[in-house]
Chains A and B, each alone.
Chain A
Amino acid sequence: MWFKATESCNCIEPQWPADELLVKYQYISDFFIALAYFSIPLELIYFVKKSAVFPYRWVLVQFGAFIVLCGATHLINLWTFAVHTRTVAMVMTAAKVLTAVVSCATALMLVHIIPDLLSVKTRELFLKNKAAELDREMGLIRTQEETGRHVRMLTHEIRSTLDRHTILKTTLIELGRTLALEECALWMPTRTGLELQLAYTLRQQNPVGYTVPIHLPVINQVFSSNRAVKISPNCPVARLRPHTGKYLPGEVVAVRVPLLNLSNFQIYDWPEVSTRSYALMVLMLPSDSARQWHVHELELVEVVADQVAVALSHAAILEESMRARNLLIEQNVALDLARREAETAIHARNDFLAVMNHEMRTPMHAIIALSSLLQETELTVEQRLMVETILKSSNLLATLINDVLDLSRLEDGSLQLETTTFSLHSVFREVLNLIKPVASVKRLSLTLHLASDLPAYAVGDEKRLMQTILNVVGNAVKFSKEGSISITAIVAKPESFKDARIPEFLPVPSDSHFYLRVQVKDSGSGINPQDIPKLFTKFAQSQAVQTKGPAGSGLGLAICRRFVNLMEGHIWIESEGIGKGCTVTFIVKLGIPDRPNESKLAFAPKVPGNHVSTNFGGLKVLVMDDNGVNRSVTKGLLLHLGCDVTTAGSSEECLRIVSPEHRVVFMDVCTGLDGYELAMRIQEKFKKRQDRPLIVALTGNTNKVTKENCMRVGMDGLILKPLSVDKMRGVLSELLEHRVLFEAI
């Protein structure tokens, strides 16, 4: 170019003549150079535009400018081959100057840029390495996730069933599948705990009962850690089938499976490691493969072993609870049946008792009634004594009949004692009187000792106390063929009471009660001490009874004991043996009466033919009844009670006769509404006076309507027919006291 520049100047003559060929070639080359120079930036721009990221645009622009200018220069050079004008020379010069500037600037710029460009390359390499590393790690994580998924699936399979067999089988199958095992086996400890028995295998259907002693070193090694341990394929637990592969058998891993029991779980810690049994799970990789046990696979195996342990324990717990539940159901059914049977039995017994009672009472009443009638007649002293004895015996028999019913009530706990004040002395005397005839027939002597400090009167159930004493003494008499019977009664004191038989019972008397101790000693046939407990059982009869007398204990002693218990006491029998007599002692708690109550003794129980008749002192009463018989009977009743009786046979007569002097008007309301109207009219008659007579209705109807009607018309009382002397007496007393009496219907 320099050549060209100087050659174009006219000042200097060319050295040689311009060669046409040379010039032509230069001409063409310049042209192509320019072309190239112009197309390179275009290409650059084109491709840069195509690429999204290119950080060095500025450099590219510079470079582009440089190239363009160089191209321009070469292009302009085309005009300088021939003679050219000054303009061309100027343009050429300008272009060259610009080119120079730009190229220098570019050169300077490149100094900075090229190291950067080079370092980009290294970074790229670095990133590539990193990417490869991450890929590797990803691969690892994925593998682990796979493992985790397998474990979860396995666990799910295992835990979805509560059947032990299924659990174990599933474990082996799933493990085999996940880890692609050749064989998988489970060894369970035998009952003795000294051996391991092959329980389940994966491939073999029916494992023969191989056993292996449990204290092999390899097994101990496995059991002593909770990790999966690699063991030798030659050890007994791993040699399950004949070695088939040509090369080495696959690696074997064994892990322990804890067999947990319910008792192993403490509240805050996991099960203790110490005293437990383990099962052994053995896993074998396929032989002839180069596979090795990877860490994650071992971890999987350990986790599975733990899960299996938990699943097994759940299965065991469930089994237990199912068994317990079945047992309970059975027991419930049995109990239900027993209860129903018992109820039926109780009903049957109650019905029987009720019926028997009723049937027995009827003749009893007849006996009692007639005996009491007999008592009212003229009798010799002996006869009177006999009749009284008959009466008392029948009363006692009636009481016994009641007590047969009571015994069932006693056993149900529904019996209650009747407390009255009574004379202790008279109780004993009566017993004695009752027993004396029998005793004298048997030529037994009977003695009674009553302590001097025994209270004269006591509060308690006289009837049942007497029955108890009578029963005991009666037994003594019954079972003695000869000799004597002694009855002693004292007040039991705590100090004197050191009976070893009932050490927990300590009678403590107080101000309101005392303990009566009665002892009956006989010299009869005695009892074998072994039989003594049976005596108080009802209906049991002692085999030792040799007498030909009446049948044995029956209910007697059983009832006695229950009565004594009700009276908060104790009863016991002592005997030294057969033929040596026997002593019955009982202690009961009785109350001390506040003051000696003579009047309360006046009531004799249930014996008709009363000794006491309250005299109503000429009480004026009016009886209205249209039935002549009833009128006479009622009149007789009231006369007997000492009243002054007027009778009326109709309502009109009654209204005529009634006067303020009459204290009570008895009217019969059996016949229609007359009675009610009469009552109202009487009330009207005496409306203005304070002293109208009390109006009492007599009726045989036992329905509430009658009662309501009577109350509605303003009557003062209602009594049910038939009337007895006692009833009328009671009614009159009540009426005069309370001025009203409505008998319960």
Chain B
Amino acid sequence: MLGLGADLLWADMNRLLAFLFHQGVLDEQFLQLQQLQDETSPNFVSEVVNIYFHESEKLLRNLRGLLMEREFSDYKKMGIHLNQLMGSSSSIGAKRVTNVCLAFRAATDHNNRSGCLRALEMLEHEYCYLKNKLHELFQIEQQRVLAAGVRYPVQNN
């Protein structure tokens, strides 16, 4: 009985992951992260993702603050923040977020304020979406772990 529940949850999780892959929200880098999770670091993925959320929120706040200034001219600083965000997003495999960052950076290169604003809005939207979905993923994961009562994947056969 227990096993069956865990299996259903497992199926759900896989379905969600497949969906996210298909949408292009996540890419192979995320898989790499999952590969690194083993008995020595059983919560590796969630740890990394949480760090990502913290940092990204900070960066997004900074970006919005910069763009909201009346006499805004410091594109370079915005570029630095963007690079940070882009770097971390690509490290965890958040493909769509990374792509929006790229577009954002192009706008800053052209000193295009309205373009930047638009990009920032899209970035925030994508980030929220990603955050929600990843939270969902982790929830299912936790439930599954509880339901199955076994440790998450044995890495070495």
- What range describes how many residues of B lie at the interface? 35 or more
Q: Which residues 30-53 of B have a CB within 8 angstroms of A?
A: 31-36, 38, 40-41, 44, 47-48, 51-52
Q: Which residues 45-66 of B have a CB within 8 angstroms of A?
A: 47-48, 51-52, 54-55
Contacts of A378 in B (CB 8 A): 148, 150
Bits for A32-60, please: 1 = Cβ < 8 Å to B, else 0. Answer: 00000000000000000000000000000
Q: Known contacts A373-B14, A670-B83; is A725 also within 8 Å of B88 by CB?
A: no
Q: Which residues 669-722 of A have a CB within 8 angstroms of B?
A: 670-671, 700, 721-722
Which of A22-30, A250-258, A331-339, A633-641 lies at the binding interface? A633-641
Closest chain-A Cβ to B25's Cβ sits at a distance in Å of: 12
Q: Which residues 614-651 of A have a CB within 8 angstroms of B?
A: 626-630, 632-633, 636-637, 639-640
Q: Is the CB of B88 within 8 A of A376?
A: no
Contacts of A376 in B (CB 8 A): 153-155
Closest residue on chain B to residue A630 by CB atoms: B91
The CA of A721 and the CA of B86, in the complex, are separated in Å by 12
The CA of A589 and the CA of B63, in the complex, are separated in Å by 65
The answer, yes or no, to whether B123 is at the interface (CB within 8 Å) is no
The CA of A271 and the CA of B122, in the complex, are separated in Å by 94
The answer, yes or no, to whether A445 is at the interface (CB within 8 Å) is no
Q: Which residues 127-155 of B have a CB within 8 angstroms of A?
A: 148, 150, 153-155
Closest chain-B Cβ to A667's Cβ sits at a distance in Å of: 13
Q: Is the CB of A628 within 8 A of B88?
A: yes
The CA of A693 and the CA of B54, in the complex, are separated in Å by 32
Q: Which residues 361-377 of A have a CB within 8 angstroms of B?
A: 363, 365-366, 369-370, 373-374, 376-377
The CA of A633 and the CA of B29, in the complex, are separated in Å by 10
Q: Known contacts A608-B31, A608-B35, A722-B29; is A629 also within 8 Å of B155 by CB?
A: no
The CA of A608 and the CA of B22, in the complex, are separated in Å by 18
Q: Is the CB of B21 within 8 A of A613?
A: no
Closest residue on chain B to residue A640 by CB atoms: B36
Bits for B66-107, please: 1 = Cβ < 8 Å to A, else 0. Answer: 000000000000001001101110111100000000000000
The answer, yes or no, to whether B17 is at the interface (CB within 8 Å) is yes
The CA of A723 and the CA of B33, in the complex, are separated in Å by 10
User: What's the count of A-B pairs with C-beta under 8 Å?
Assistant: 99
B32: contacting residue among A363, A374, A630, A725, CB under 8 A: A725
The CA of A627 and the CA of B58, in the complex, are separated in Å by 12
Contacts of A366 in B (CB 8 A): 18, 21-22
Q: Is the CB of A633 within 8 A of B92?
A: yes
Q: Is the CB of B51 within 8 A of A632?
A: yes
Q: Is the CB of A700 within 8 A of B90?
A: yes
Closest chain-B Cβ to A701's Cβ sits at a distance in Å of: 10
Q: Is the CB of B52 within 8 A of A629?
A: yes
Contacts of B48 in A (CB 8 A): 629, 632-633, 636
Most buried by B among A670, A671, A724: A724
Q: Is the CB of A639 within 8 A of B41?
A: yes
Q: Is the CB of B47 within 8 A of A632?
A: yes
Q: Is the CB of A627 within 8 A of B55?
A: yes
Q: Is the CB of A630 within 8 A of B88?
A: yes
Closest residue on chain B to residue A377 by CB atoms: B153
Q: Is the CB of B80 within 8 A of A369?
A: no
The CA of A636 and the CA of B30, in the complex, are separated in Å by 13
Q: Is the CB of A629 within 8 A of B83?
A: no
Q: Known contacts A630-B87, A640-B36; is A370 also within 8 Å of B18 by CB?
A: yes
Q: Is the CB of A627 within 8 A of B88?
A: yes
Q: Is the CB of A725 within 8 A of B55?
A: no
Contacts of A639 in B (CB 8 A): 36, 40-41
The CA of A628 and the CA of B89, in the complex, are separated in Å by 11
Closest residue on chain B to residue A631 by CB atoms: B51
A-B contacts, 30 listed (Cβ < 8 Å): A365-B28, A369-B28, A370-B21, A373-B17, A373-B31, A376-B155, A377-B10, A378-B148, A378-B150, A626-B84, A627-B84, A628-B55, A629-B48, A629-B55, A629-B88, A630-B91, A632-B47, A632-B48, A636-B33, A636-B44, A636-B48, A637-B36, A639-B40, A640-B41, A671-B83, A700-B87, A721-B87, A722-B29, A724-B32, A725-B36
With A608-B31, A632-B47 known, 11 other A-B pairs at CB within 8 A are A376-B153, A377-B10, A611-B156, A628-B51, A629-B87, A629-B88, A632-B48, A633-B36, A633-B48, A722-B32, A725-B36
Which 3 A-B pairs give the minimum distances between C-beta atoms? A629-B88, A636-B36, A376-B153
